[in-house]
Amino acid sequence: MSGCGPARGAARAVEILVARGVGRVERGGRIAPWTSYQIGGPADVLVETESESDLEGVAEAARESGLDVLVLGRGSNVLVSDGGFRGIALRLGAGFRWSRRDGGALEAGAAAPLPALSGLALDEGLAGLEFAVSIPGSLGGAVRMNAGAHGRCMADVVEWAEVYSFDQAETVRFARDELAFDYRTARFPARSAVTAARLALEPGERGAIAERMREAREWRRRTQPLNSPNAGSVFKNPPGEFAARLVETVCGKGMSRGGARVSEVHANFIVAGAGARSSDVHALIRRIQRMVRRATGIDLQLELKLVGEFKEEDDDQTPV
């Protein structure tokens, strides 16, 4: 569909989604409650899907309206702009929150929370997923960004992932090698959603598995700001360096902009305090990047995903 403005596109998308009986559909719905930051503007269309049939409805709505598609997992690594997202934002609902053991592996829907899958692995006496017990994301989001902790990552355990393409309106299964996993990235088709994955694990002693999980939880409690809204690590670690060390070196913990500030617990976390806006977080991100670049020559790359349009501003006049 061409020549259709955002308002008409949204109206057309809602019409199609409602006619097809797609899960929850809301025009102009707030994305913020679907993110760990709890800030940001609305989407033109907000959708919660429960089945592949619902995804087919989204594919048709996107095609006929000309709107883009944003897939959110648990929203634990995204910052949505104050202006929101011009398109269809969707979250996989309870229909994708399933899990089961299959031999020495776990298979699960993409909406399954990683901590819950780690708990299932413990119950089944399967080792290899202990690192994920403290990652507050969904399986689909974790696979897409190759989430990791404690020297392990999803690339170590993913055997295959099923992916729904909104452009092709079909589900395709990709083997691990086809996903080209790298540091906090993987290769997926554009405009697609991970719907399920198989995690290859190995038999383990439950007591040892439980102890490794306890240590991972304790490490997270000790080193991360769990009581303040945040989206995890903001920057990727440069080769041979730690982003947190660089941030702390150039500006220290506690530097702030509006309601956003660098966490006093971990310098690679930016927390959203009372009255924080997405523009505050974004301005602080850019300020930190400029300061690190000036002091070290290192360009900090974002691990956090930016959604929507952000105004670039040199609010502290730090030279580039």
Q: Does residue 1 lie within any of the structural domains?
A: no
Residue 31: give the domain boundaries: 6-95
Are both 274 and 178 inside the same structural domain? no
Q: Which of 118, 233, 263, 278 is catalytic?
A: 233
- On whether the CB atoms of residues 36 and 136 are closer than 8 A, the answer is yes
313 and 257 assigned to the same domain: yes
Domain count for the chain: 3
Same domain, residue pair 277 and 184:
no
Q: What pLDDT, on a 0 to 100 scale, did the predictor assign at position 251?
A: 85
The answer to whether residue 277 is catalytic is no
Check residue 252 and give its pLDDT: 77
Is 184 in the active site? yes
Q: How far apart are CA 126 and CA 297, in angstroms?
A: 44
Identify the CATH number of the domain in which residue 267 sits. 3.90.78.10
Is residue 129 located within the same domain as residue 85? no
179 and 124 in a common domain:
yes
Query: 175 with 190, same domain?
Result: yes
Options 184, 257, 287, 290, the catalytic residue: 184
Q: Is 247 found in the same domain as 205?
A: no
Residue 254 and residue 261 in contact, taking contact as beta carbons nearer than 8 Å:
yes
| Residue with the two structure tokens 């994920």 | 132
pLDDT score of 315:
56
Residues 112 and 164 in one domain: yes
Percent of the chain with pLDDT over 70: 96
Maximal CA-CA distance, the chain: 61
**pLDDT tens track for 56-70:** 999 999 999 999 999
Angle at alpha carbon of residue 230, lines to 226 and 236, rounded to 5°: 105
Stretches where the chain sits below pLDDT 70 are: 1-6, 314-320
In whole angstroms, what is the distance from residue 172 CA to residue 160 CA?
10
114 within domain boundaries: yes
Name, in order, each residue with C-beta under 8 angstroms of 190's C-beta and a sequence gap of 6 or more. Answer: 167
Is 248 in the active site?
A: no
Return d(Cα 205, Cα 122) in angstroms, integer: 9
pLDDT at 313: 74
Q: Which one is catalytic: 56, 124, 130, 303?
A: 303
